[in-house]
């Protein structure tokens, strides 16, 4: 989301860059730490996910291994919880915490959680808008100044498209926080974590949540920066 040219407004992005770096380091260090702590239940991430889905009466949602490190996610279109290989196979505090979090999204989907529905609906616009926005932004700034489409400048069109990506990041925050809250409730209510593991599970989920905070912060500050550039020109 960073524009590759220098402008005094780049200063606005410094806090976001620092927060993003910290969040990435935090999630990796926390995940590595609790990936070495075996779960007292002895259940793998796959088994934990299946137990949570079953306990909540959620049928038709599969649990599959995904590809790549920390590639865990819930696919609401195909109704699949995909866990990265380690989290799918292993029985660690980190693995079961991540599995429970993704099941939190499946529970949101089954219960009709409004922010998840909104995020799913806006995703295509956010994906396309974020990609196309920079074409219009660069065109409006450097190559086609003064050119307008139906009276609207290219820069304004680019900012409008970019705003869909910002909205997506902002909506993501309550979705992720709620999924983590649901995960902890499920782990405790179903007895899937020992009392001594609860703090570790919360640390894993809190560290992961910080990455979404960093992404939303970067998106909002980038939008503010673009608006400042537009107004100055």
- Sequence spans of domains, the chain: 8-232
If you write DSSP's letter for every residue of the chain in order, what string do you get? ---SS--GGGGGGHHHHHHHHHHHHHHHHHHHHHHTSB-TT---HHHHHHHHHHHTT--S-EEEE-SSTT--EEETTTTEEEE-HHHHH--BHHHHHHHHHHHHHHHHHHHT-HHHHHHHHHHHHHHHHHHHHHHHHHIIIIISTT-EETTEEHHHHHHHHHHHHHHHHHHHHHHHHHHHHHHHHHHHHTT-S-GGGHHHHHHHHHHHHHHHHHHHHHHHHHHHHHHHHHHH-
To the question of pTM greater than 0.75 for the whole model, the response is yes
Which of 47, 64, 102, 197 is an active site residue? 102
pLDDT-derived band at 149, boundaries 50, 70, 90? low
Give the model's pLDDT for residue 4: 47
**What burial class does residue 14 get, using C-beta atoms within 10 Å of its C-beta: 0-12 exposed, 13-18 middle, 19+ buried?**
exposed
Give the model's pLDDT for residue 147: 59
For all residues of the chain together, what is the average pLDDT?
91
Q: Is 102 a catalytic residue?
A: yes
Average pLDDT rounded to a whole number, residues 102-131: 95
pLDDT at 14 over 80: yes
Q: Bridge-partner residues for 64, per DSSP?
A: 82
Average pLDDT rounded to a whole number, residues 127-145: 85
pLDDT digits (tens, 9 = 90+) for 66-81: 988 889 999 999 999 9
Average pLDDT rounded to a whole number, residues 223-227: 93
pLDDT digits (tens, 9 = 90+) for 30-83: 999 999 999 999 999 999 999 999 999 999 999 999 988 889 999 999 999 999
């Amino acid at each position: 989301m960073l524009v590759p040219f220098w402008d005094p407004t780049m200063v606005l992005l410094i806090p976001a860059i620092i927060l993003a770096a910290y969040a990435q380091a935090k999630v990796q260090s926390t995940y590595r730490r609790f990936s070495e702590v075996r779960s007292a239940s002895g259940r793998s991430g796959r088994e934990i996910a299946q137990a949570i889905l079953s306990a909540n009466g959620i049928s038709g949602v599969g649990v599959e291994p995904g590809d790549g490190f920390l590639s865990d996610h819930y696919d609401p279109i195909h109704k699949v919880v995909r866990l990265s290989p380690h989290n799918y196979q292993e029985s660690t505090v980190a693995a079961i915490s991540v599995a429970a979090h993704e099941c939190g999204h499946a529970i949101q989907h089954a219960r009709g959680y409004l922010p998840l529905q909104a995020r799913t609906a806006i995703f295509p616009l956010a994906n396309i808008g974020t990609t196309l926005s920079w074409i219009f932004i660069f065109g409006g700034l450097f190559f086609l100044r003064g050119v307008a489409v139906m009276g609207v400048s290219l820069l304004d069109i680019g900012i409008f498209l970019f705003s869909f990506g910002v909205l997506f990041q902002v909506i993501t925050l309550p979705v992720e926080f709620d999924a983590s809250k649901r995960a902890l409730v499920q782990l405790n209510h179903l007895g899937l974590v020992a009392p001594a593991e609860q703090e570790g599970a919360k640390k894993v989920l809190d560290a992961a949540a910080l990455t979404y905070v960093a992404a939303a912060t970067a998106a909002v500050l980038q939008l503010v920066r673009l608006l400042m550039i537009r107004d100055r020109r």
